[in-house]
Chains A and B, each alone.
Chain A
Amino acid sequence: MHELSIVQGVVELCEQHCGGRRVLAVTLEIGSLSGAVPEALEFCFEAATKGTLLEGAELEIERVEATGYCSDCGVVSPVETYFDSCPSCGAPALLLRTGEEMRVKDLEVE
Protein backbone atom coordinates (compact mmCIF):
# COMPACT_ATOMS: atom_id res chain seq x y z
CA MET A 1 0.00 0.00 0.00
CA HIS A 2 2.67 2.53 -0.96
CA GLU A 3 -0.14 4.63 -2.43
CA LEU A 4 -0.56 6.13 1.04
CA SER A 5 3.05 7.39 0.99
CA ILE A 6 2.45 8.71 -2.50
CA VAL A 7 -0.66 10.58 -1.44
CA GLN A 8 1.20 11.98 1.56
CA GLY A 9 3.78 13.24 -0.92
CA VAL A 10 0.99 14.89 -2.91
CA VAL A 11 -0.36 16.60 0.22
CA GLU A 12 3.09 17.88 1.12
CA LEU A 13 3.77 19.23 -2.39
CA CYS A 14 0.37 20.94 -2.57
CA GLU A 15 0.76 22.54 0.84
CA GLN A 16 4.13 23.93 -0.26
CA HIS A 17 2.60 25.50 -3.34
CA CYS A 18 -0.86 26.64 -2.24
CA GLY A 19 0.30 29.67 -0.24
CA GLY A 20 -1.87 28.74 2.76
CA ARG A 21 -5.06 28.76 0.67
CA ARG A 22 -7.56 25.93 0.68
CA VAL A 23 -7.02 23.50 -2.20
CA LEU A 24 -10.13 22.80 -4.25
CA ALA A 25 -8.76 20.35 -6.79
CA VAL A 26 -5.54 18.50 -7.58
CA THR A 27 -4.55 16.91 -10.87
CA LEU A 28 -2.05 14.05 -10.90
CA GLU A 29 -0.33 12.46 -13.87
CA ILE A 30 0.10 8.75 -13.24
CA GLY A 31 1.88 6.53 -15.74
CA SER A 32 0.36 3.17 -16.55
CA LEU A 33 3.62 1.44 -15.52
CA SER A 34 4.34 3.65 -12.48
CA GLY A 35 3.20 0.99 -10.04
CA ALA A 36 0.65 3.35 -8.50
CA VAL A 37 -2.95 2.22 -8.83
CA PRO A 38 -5.40 5.11 -9.41
CA GLU A 39 -8.18 3.45 -7.43
CA ALA A 40 -5.84 2.95 -4.47
CA LEU A 41 -4.70 6.59 -4.69
CA GLU A 42 -8.33 7.72 -4.63
CA PHE A 43 -8.99 5.41 -1.71
CA CYS A 44 -6.12 6.90 0.34
CA PHE A 45 -6.75 10.49 -0.68
CA GLU A 46 -9.68 11.19 1.60
CA ALA A 47 -7.94 9.80 4.68
CA ALA A 48 -4.60 11.45 3.93
CA THR A 49 -6.10 14.90 3.30
CA LYS A 50 -8.21 15.02 6.46
CA GLY A 51 -7.24 18.03 8.57
CA THR A 52 -5.02 19.46 5.79
CA LEU A 53 -5.60 22.30 3.34
CA LEU A 54 -6.64 19.62 0.86
CA GLU A 55 -9.56 18.33 2.88
CA GLY A 56 -12.56 17.98 0.57
CA ALA A 57 -10.49 18.67 -2.56
CA GLU A 58 -11.35 16.93 -5.80
CA LEU A 59 -8.74 14.47 -7.04
CA GLU A 60 -8.32 14.16 -10.76
CA ILE A 61 -6.00 11.49 -12.13
CA GLU A 62 -4.73 11.75 -15.69
CA ARG A 63 -3.46 8.40 -16.89
CA VAL A 64 -0.27 8.59 -18.96
CA GLU A 65 -0.09 5.66 -21.32
CA ALA A 66 3.27 3.93 -21.63
CA THR A 67 5.25 4.15 -24.83
CA GLY A 68 8.55 2.56 -25.72
CA TYR A 69 11.30 3.32 -28.21
CA CYS A 70 12.82 0.53 -30.24
CA SER A 71 16.56 1.03 -30.62
CA ASP A 72 16.58 -1.42 -33.54
CA CYS A 73 13.98 0.17 -35.84
CA GLY A 74 13.49 3.57 -34.19
CA VAL A 75 9.70 3.23 -33.88
CA VAL A 76 7.89 4.46 -30.75
CA SER A 77 4.96 2.19 -29.85
CA PRO A 78 2.38 1.90 -27.09
CA VAL A 79 3.55 -0.46 -24.36
CA GLU A 80 1.43 -2.49 -21.98
CA THR A 81 4.07 -4.27 -19.95
CA TYR A 82 7.75 -3.99 -19.12
CA PHE A 83 8.39 -6.97 -21.35
CA ASP A 84 6.61 -6.00 -24.58
CA SER A 85 8.57 -6.61 -27.73
CA CYS A 86 8.56 -4.13 -30.59
CA PRO A 87 5.30 -4.54 -32.58
CA SER A 88 7.02 -3.10 -35.63
CA CYS A 89 10.16 -5.26 -35.94
CA GLY A 90 9.85 -7.80 -33.12
CA ALA A 91 12.95 -6.68 -31.21
CA PRO A 92 12.71 -8.09 -27.68
CA ALA A 93 13.15 -4.92 -25.61
CA LEU A 94 11.89 -1.35 -25.77
CA LEU A 95 13.22 1.68 -23.92
CA LEU A 96 10.41 3.32 -22.00
CA ARG A 97 9.64 6.85 -23.13
CA THR A 98 6.53 7.44 -21.02
CA GLY A 99 4.50 5.49 -18.51
CA GLU A 100 6.52 5.79 -15.31
CA GLU A 101 5.25 9.28 -14.36
CA MET A 102 4.01 10.08 -10.87
CA ARG A 103 3.59 13.83 -10.87
CA VAL A 104 1.42 16.56 -9.44
CA LYS A 105 0.40 18.45 -12.57
CA ASP A 106 -1.47 21.36 -11.05
CA LEU A 107 -3.83 22.39 -8.33
CA GLU A 108 -6.66 24.79 -7.90
CA VAL A 109 -6.83 26.97 -4.80
CA GLU A 110 -9.46 29.31 -3.40
Chain B
Amino acid sequence: MCTTCGCPEEGHDHHHDHDGHLPGTRITIETDILAKNNRYAAGNRALFKANGIFALNLVSSPGSGKTTILERTLCDLSGNLRCAVIEGDQQTDNDARRIAATGVPVKQINTGAGCHLDAHMVGHALEELPTREMDILFIENVGNLVCPASFDLGEAHKVVVLSVTEGEDKPLKYPQMFHAADVMLLNKIDLLPYLDFDVEKCLEMARRVSPGIRIFQLSAKSGQGMAEWYEWLRGKG
Protein backbone atom coordinates (compact mmCIF):
# COMPACT_ATOMS: atom_id res chain seq x y z
CA MET B 1 0.00 0.00 0.00
CA CYS B 2 1.20 3.51 -0.72
CA THR B 3 2.15 5.11 2.61
CA THR B 4 1.63 8.66 1.37
CA CYS B 5 -1.99 8.56 0.34
CA GLY B 6 -3.09 5.14 1.54
CA CYS B 7 -4.17 3.95 -1.91
CA PRO B 8 -3.50 0.31 -2.89
CA GLU B 9 -1.15 1.25 -5.70
CA GLU B 10 2.57 1.15 -4.87
CA GLY B 11 5.17 3.54 -6.24
CA HIS B 12 2.97 6.04 -8.05
CA ASP B 13 3.80 9.69 -8.09
CA HIS B 14 2.36 12.32 -5.76
CA HIS B 15 4.15 15.26 -7.29
CA HIS B 16 2.04 18.18 -8.34
CA ASP B 17 2.44 21.89 -8.87
CA HIS B 18 1.50 24.16 -6.01
CA ASP B 19 1.12 27.81 -6.90
CA GLY B 20 4.41 28.11 -8.61
CA HIS B 21 6.75 26.68 -6.00
CA LEU B 22 8.69 23.46 -6.39
CA PRO B 23 6.58 20.37 -6.84
CA GLY B 24 6.57 18.24 -3.72
CA THR B 25 4.87 15.37 -1.97
CA ARG B 26 1.86 16.26 0.14
CA ILE B 27 1.53 14.57 3.51
CA THR B 28 -1.75 14.74 5.39
CA ILE B 29 -1.30 15.28 9.11
CA GLU B 30 -4.61 16.60 10.52
CA THR B 31 -3.16 16.82 14.01
CA ASP B 32 -3.86 19.30 16.80
CA ILE B 33 -0.90 21.66 17.14
CA LEU B 34 -1.18 21.42 20.91
CA ALA B 35 -1.26 17.60 20.82
CA LYS B 36 2.08 17.37 22.61
CA ASN B 37 0.94 19.70 25.40
CA ASN B 38 -2.30 17.74 25.64
CA ARG B 39 -0.37 14.47 26.04
CA TYR B 40 1.63 15.94 28.92
CA ALA B 41 -1.61 17.32 30.37
CA ALA B 42 -3.13 13.83 30.21
CA GLY B 43 -0.06 12.51 32.03
CA ASN B 44 -0.45 15.12 34.77
CA ARG B 45 -4.16 14.35 35.01
CA ALA B 46 -3.43 10.65 35.44
CA LEU B 47 -0.96 11.44 38.21
CA PHE B 48 -3.53 13.66 39.95
CA LYS B 49 -6.12 10.92 39.71
CA ALA B 50 -3.79 8.20 41.00
CA ASN B 51 -2.90 10.32 44.02
CA GLY B 52 -6.33 11.81 44.66
CA ILE B 53 -5.11 15.36 44.01
CA PHE B 54 -7.60 18.11 43.21
CA ALA B 55 -5.69 20.41 40.84
CA LEU B 56 -6.73 23.97 40.07
CA ASN B 57 -5.24 26.28 37.46
CA LEU B 58 -5.54 29.90 38.63
CA VAL B 59 -5.54 32.40 35.79
CA SER B 60 -6.00 36.17 35.75
CA SER B 61 -4.46 39.44 34.70
CA PRO B 62 -1.44 40.57 36.77
CA GLY B 63 -2.37 42.09 40.10
CA SER B 64 -5.81 40.55 40.56
CA GLY B 65 -4.73 39.05 43.89
CA LYS B 66 -4.08 35.39 43.05
CA THR B 67 -1.13 35.11 45.43
CA THR B 68 -2.95 36.91 48.25
CA ILE B 69 -5.95 34.61 47.81
CA LEU B 70 -3.61 31.63 47.99
CA GLU B 71 -1.76 32.90 51.08
CA ARG B 72 -5.01 33.30 52.98
CA THR B 73 -6.50 30.05 51.67
CA LEU B 74 -3.39 28.04 52.58
CA CYS B 75 -3.26 29.48 56.11
CA ASP B 76 -6.97 28.89 56.69
CA LEU B 77 -7.01 25.35 55.26
CA SER B 78 -3.81 24.10 56.89
CA GLY B 79 -4.58 21.30 59.29
CA ASN B 80 -7.57 20.20 57.22
CA LEU B 81 -6.08 19.71 53.79
CA ARG B 82 -2.58 19.06 52.47
CA CYS B 83 -1.95 21.70 49.85
CA ALA B 84 0.90 22.47 47.47
CA VAL B 85 1.50 25.28 45.02
CA ILE B 86 3.18 25.71 41.66
CA GLU B 87 3.96 29.35 40.99
CA GLY B 88 4.36 30.59 37.43
CA ASP B 89 5.98 33.94 36.70
CA GLN B 90 8.25 35.23 33.99
CA GLN B 91 10.89 36.24 36.53
CA THR B 92 11.63 36.23 40.30
CA ASP B 93 10.65 33.82 43.04
CA ASN B 94 8.88 36.54 45.04
CA ASP B 95 5.53 34.72 44.95
CA ALA B 96 7.10 31.36 45.85
CA ARG B 97 8.71 32.97 48.89
CA ARG B 98 5.37 34.40 49.97
CA ILE B 99 3.80 30.95 49.64
CA ALA B 100 6.74 29.22 51.37
CA ALA B 101 6.16 31.50 54.37
CA THR B 102 2.80 29.75 54.89
CA GLY B 103 4.66 26.44 55.31
CA VAL B 104 3.15 24.84 52.20
CA PRO B 105 5.39 23.07 49.64
CA VAL B 106 5.89 25.30 46.63
CA LYS B 107 7.77 25.13 43.36
CA GLN B 108 8.46 28.23 41.31
CA ILE B 109 8.54 28.04 37.51
CA ASN B 110 10.10 30.98 35.70
CA THR B 111 8.98 31.05 32.12
CA GLY B 112 11.50 33.71 31.03
CA ALA B 113 9.97 35.26 27.95
CA GLY B 114 7.09 32.75 28.02
CA CYS B 115 3.61 34.08 28.60
CA HIS B 116 1.99 30.93 30.02
CA LEU B 117 2.68 27.66 31.80
CA ASP B 118 2.49 24.48 29.75
CA ALA B 119 1.79 20.94 30.86
CA HIS B 120 5.40 19.85 30.39
CA MET B 121 6.71 22.50 32.80
CA VAL B 122 4.06 21.53 35.33
CA GLY B 123 5.03 17.86 35.02
CA HIS B 124 8.62 18.68 35.92
CA ALA B 125 7.56 20.88 38.82
CA LEU B 126 5.47 17.98 40.15
CA GLU B 127 8.61 15.83 40.35
CA GLU B 128 9.80 18.16 43.10
CA LEU B 129 6.59 18.23 45.09
CA PRO B 130 5.24 15.61 47.53
CA THR B 131 2.49 14.30 45.26
CA ARG B 132 1.81 11.32 47.52
CA GLU B 133 0.89 13.63 50.36
CA MET B 134 -1.24 16.19 48.58
CA ASP B 135 -4.98 16.88 48.57
CA ILE B 136 -5.09 20.12 46.59
CA LEU B 137 -2.60 21.54 44.10
CA PHE B 138 -2.93 25.20 43.20
CA ILE B 139 -1.18 26.15 39.98
CA GLU B 140 -0.82 29.92 39.83
CA ASN B 141 -0.39 30.67 36.15
CA VAL B 142 1.48 33.62 34.66
CA GLY B 143 -0.62 36.78 35.04
CA ASN B 144 -2.08 37.06 31.55
CA LEU B 145 -5.70 36.86 30.44
CA VAL B 146 -4.87 35.64 26.94
CA CYS B 147 -2.30 32.89 26.43
CA PRO B 148 -2.88 30.54 29.40
CA ALA B 149 -6.40 29.91 28.06
CA SER B 150 -5.09 27.60 25.34
CA PHE B 151 -2.88 25.35 27.46
CA ASP B 152 -4.41 22.49 29.42
CA LEU B 153 -2.20 21.64 32.41
CA GLY B 154 -4.20 18.61 33.51
CA GLU B 155 -6.22 20.58 36.06
CA ALA B 156 -9.74 19.77 37.23
CA HIS B 157 -10.83 23.41 36.83
CA LYS B 158 -9.54 26.64 35.42
CA VAL B 159 -10.29 29.25 38.07
CA VAL B 160 -10.29 32.78 36.71
CA VAL B 161 -9.67 35.56 39.21
CA LEU B 162 -11.07 39.00 38.45
CA SER B 163 -10.68 41.90 40.85
CA VAL B 164 -13.18 44.71 41.13
CA THR B 165 -10.46 47.28 40.47
CA GLU B 166 -10.43 45.98 36.89
CA GLY B 167 -13.20 46.69 34.41
CA GLU B 168 -16.45 44.79 34.84
CA ASP B 169 -16.40 44.01 31.11
CA LYS B 170 -13.24 41.86 31.31
CA PRO B 171 -15.27 38.68 30.54
CA LEU B 172 -16.32 40.16 27.19
CA LYS B 173 -12.90 41.65 26.46
CA TYR B 174 -11.10 38.36 27.15
CA PRO B 175 -13.83 35.85 26.30
CA GLN B 176 -11.55 32.92 25.52
CA MET B 177 -10.20 32.86 29.07
CA PHE B 178 -13.59 33.26 30.73
CA HIS B 179 -15.04 30.65 28.38
CA ALA B 180 -12.28 28.20 29.31
CA ALA B 181 -12.84 28.79 33.04
CA ASP B 182 -15.67 27.17 34.94
CA VAL B 183 -14.98 28.87 38.27
CA MET B 184 -14.54 32.59 38.86
CA LEU B 185 -13.35 34.41 41.95
CA LEU B 186 -14.42 38.04 42.05
CA ASN B 187 -11.79 39.44 44.40
CA LYS B 188 -11.26 42.67 46.39
CA ILE B 189 -14.99 43.14 47.01
CA ASP B 190 -14.06 45.07 50.19
CA LEU B 191 -13.19 47.94 47.79
CA LEU B 192 -16.62 48.05 46.15
CA PRO B 193 -17.83 51.08 48.17
CA TYR B 194 -15.06 53.16 46.61
CA LEU B 195 -15.56 52.03 43.00
CA ASP B 196 -18.15 52.26 40.24
CA PHE B 197 -17.84 48.53 39.53
CA ASP B 198 -21.23 47.03 38.63
CA VAL B 199 -21.15 43.52 40.14
CA GLU B 200 -24.39 42.30 38.57
CA LYS B 201 -23.32 43.45 35.13
CA CYS B 202 -19.97 41.72 35.54
CA LEU B 203 -21.57 38.44 36.63
CA GLU B 204 -24.05 38.59 33.79
CA MET B 205 -21.19 39.06 31.29
CA ALA B 206 -19.24 36.18 32.81
CA ARG B 207 -22.29 33.91 32.50
CA ARG B 208 -22.87 34.96 28.92
CA VAL B 209 -19.35 33.84 27.98
CA SER B 210 -19.29 30.80 30.24
CA PRO B 211 -22.83 29.57 31.01
CA GLY B 212 -22.86 27.66 34.28
CA ILE B 213 -19.67 29.28 35.61
CA ARG B 214 -19.49 29.01 39.41
CA ILE B 215 -18.81 32.40 40.96
CA PHE B 216 -17.45 33.27 44.40
CA GLN B 217 -17.40 36.90 45.49
CA LEU B 218 -14.71 37.42 48.07
CA SER B 219 -11.98 39.56 49.53
CA ALA B 220 -8.70 37.88 50.40
CA LYS B 221 -7.87 40.99 52.42
CA SER B 222 -10.94 41.21 54.64
CA GLY B 223 -11.85 37.52 54.49
CA GLN B 224 -15.38 38.30 53.30
CA GLY B 225 -16.80 35.47 51.17
CA MET B 226 -13.82 33.18 51.72
CA ALA B 227 -15.89 30.60 53.64
CA GLU B 228 -17.92 29.62 50.55
CA TRP B 229 -14.73 29.19 48.53
CA TYR B 230 -13.28 26.96 51.28
CA GLU B 231 -16.46 24.94 51.43
CA TRP B 232 -16.20 24.30 47.70
CA LEU B 233 -12.51 23.32 48.06
CA ARG B 234 -13.25 20.97 50.97
CA GLY B 235 -15.95 19.32 48.90
CA LYS B 236 -13.30 19.16 46.14
CA GLY B 237 -15.44 20.89 43.58
- A5-B114, A83-B175 known; A106+B30 contact, CB < 8 A: yes
CB-CB nearest in chain B for A14: B29
8 Å CB interface, B98-128 against A: 114-116, 118
Chain A interface (Cβ within 8 Å of chain B)?
1-2, 5-6, 9-10, 12-14, 17-18, 21, 24-25, 28, 33-36, 58, 81-83, 92-93, 102-110
From known contacts A25-B18, A35-B150, infer whether A107 and B33 are also in contact, taking CB-CB under 8 Å: no
- Asked whether, in the complex, the Cβ of A13 is within 8 Å of the Cβ of B31, the reply is yes
Interface residues, chain B, CB within 8 Å of chain A?
18, 21-22, 24-37, 114-116, 118, 146-147, 149-151, 172, 175-176, 178-179, 205, 208-211
B35 and A13 within 8 A (CB)? yes
CB atoms of B22 and A24 under 8 A apart: yes
Q: Which residues of B contact A34 (CB under 8 A)?
A: 150
Measured CB to CB, the closest approach of chain A to B97, in angstroms, equals 27
Asked if B24 and A108 sit within 8 Å, CB to CB, the answer is yes
- Nearest Cβ in chain B — how far from A42, in angstroms? 15
Contact A82 B209 (CB under 8 A): yes
CA distance A109 to B112 in the complex (A): 34
Chain A nearest CB, measured from B214 CB (Å): 16
How far is it, in angstroms, between the C-alpha of A21 and the C-alpha of B15 when the chains are bound? 14
Check if B146 sits within 8 Å of A10, measured CB to CB.
no
Q: Please report whether the interface of chain A is mostly helix, strand, loop or mixed according to DSSP.
A: mixed
Tell me whether B116 and A83 are in contact (CB under 8 A).
Answer: no
Contact A82-B22, Cβ < 8 Å, known A1-B115, A35-B146, A107-B27: no
Residues in A neighbouring B178, C-beta threshold 8 A: 82
* CB-contact partner of A92 in B33, B116, B179, B211, under 8 A: B211
Report the minimum CB–CB distance from B203 to chain A (whole Å). 13
Contacts of B31 in A (CB 8 A): 13, 103-104
Whole-angstrom CA separation of A93 from B146 in the bound complex: 22
Contacting pair B147 A83 (CB below 8 A): no
The 6 closest A-B pairs by CB, nearest first: A2-B147, A82-B175, A108-B24, A83-B208, A9-B33, A24-B24
Give the docked Cα–Cα distance between A83 and B207 (Å).
Answer: 9
**Closest residue of chain A to B148, judged by CB?**
A2
Q: What separation, in Å, do the CA atoms of A24 and B37 have in the docked complex?
A: 26
Nearest CB of chain A from residue B122's CB, rounded to whole Å? 14
- Smallest CB-CB separation from A18: which chain B residue? B27
